[in-house]
């Protein structure tokens, strides 16, 4: 399953463990480069929704991304493929640890995942080039 970027996924048992993660960014950067992934999406099925996650990508300058659509698409495909949670559509939550909660919606059209979510304007202006 791919959504355009190589990302690793790791499951853990509880939401509390997910929130308490304190990854070693230097080791994670090394691991990512050695394994050809841009980052690691850590998830748990212990969630108000289908899953909750955190995405760490220090190898590409992103210690933690608050909401990651590509990783959510990969997770949905993984859950279906491994039959851990087979559904036609999923809702994942992310961003709690950064106090920037968001949701990602993944729907399948056949075997193809479609990823979406809600957005908020955080900055508005004009750029003159």
The whole-angstrom separation of Cα 42 and Cα 65 is 12
Q: Is 4 exposed, middle or buried (0-12, 13-18, 19+ CB in 10 A)?
A: exposed
How many separate domains does the chain show?
1
Q: Of 50, 28, 38, 45, which is closest to residue 8 (Cα–Cα)?
A: 38
- 72: domain CATH number is 3.10.310.10
Task: Print the domain residue range for 33.
Answer: 7-117
pLDDT tens-place string over residues 32-68: 999 999 999 999 999 999 999 999 999 999 999 999 9
42 within a domain of the structure (yes/no): yes
2 within a domain of the structure (yes/no): no
> Quick one: tokens of 80?
């279906």
pLDDT tens-place string over residues 66-102: 999 999 999 999 999 999 999 999 999 999 999 999 9
> Buried b / exposed e across 84-103, counting CB within 10 Å, b at 16+?
eeeeeebbbbbbbeeeeebb
């Amino acid at each position: 399953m791919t959504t355009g970027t190589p990302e690793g996924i790791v499951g853990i048992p509880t939401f509390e463990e997910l929130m308490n993660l304190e990854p070693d960014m230097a080791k994670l950067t090394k691991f990512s480069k050695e394994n050809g992934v841009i980052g690691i999406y850590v998830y748990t099925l212990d969630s108000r929704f289908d899953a909750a996650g955190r995405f760490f990508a220090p190898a590409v300058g992103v210690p933690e991304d608050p909401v990651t659509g590509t990783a959510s698409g990969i997770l949905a495909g993984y859950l279906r493929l491994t039959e851990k949670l087979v559904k036609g559509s999923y809702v994942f939550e992310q961003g709690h640890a950064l106090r920037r909660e968001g949701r990602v919606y993944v729907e399948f059209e056949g075997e193809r995942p479609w990823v979406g979510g809600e957005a908020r304007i955080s900055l508005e202006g004009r750029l003159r080039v």
